[in-house]
Amino acid sequence: ERGCVVVDFDQFYAAVAMRDRPELAERPLAVGGALVLTANYVARRWGVRSGQPGFVAKELCRRGKEFGMPSVELTFVPAEYEKYAEVAATAMEVYREYDPAVSCGMGYDECSLDLTHYLRRRVRFGSHARASLVSGEGCGCPAGG
């Protein structure tokens, strides 16, 4: 039996933008322009979603009153792929502590880990410590099977 998990950062591109510009954390925020690459959880309350045309996302926020929400301006920030690569590289260092053969071909924000050998070592040495994956980059990343 194998112990595998998928690690997927929450609102990854938006999380990196909010890490660098904390004042954006409480505002509806989208990364992209003509197309929404991702949105923070604040923007998602207005119905802003990944893959949505930017003009639709802006209108959802402006027309919030029609949907029982206040009218707000959606803040757009451009994608910064170099920063995403840096965060992903830091996370990869952490992942290798648990799975030396890890490969993250799913994109910057998602990775599959085989924890089988790590967990067997922990049991063999009498420690039942829970594995904790933390990127150290200020971006949350839950892991699950």
Instruction: Calculate the alpha carbon distances from 95 to 99, 101, 110, 118 in Å.
Output: 6, 9, 11, 11
Catalytic residue among 23, 82, 110, 137: 110
Q: Is 97 a catalytic site residue?
A: no
Write the CB contacts of 129 (distance below 8 Å, at least 6 apart in sequence).
Answer: 122
Burial 43-54 (b: 16+ CB within 10 A, else e): bbbbbbebebeb
- Could you list the active site residues? 110
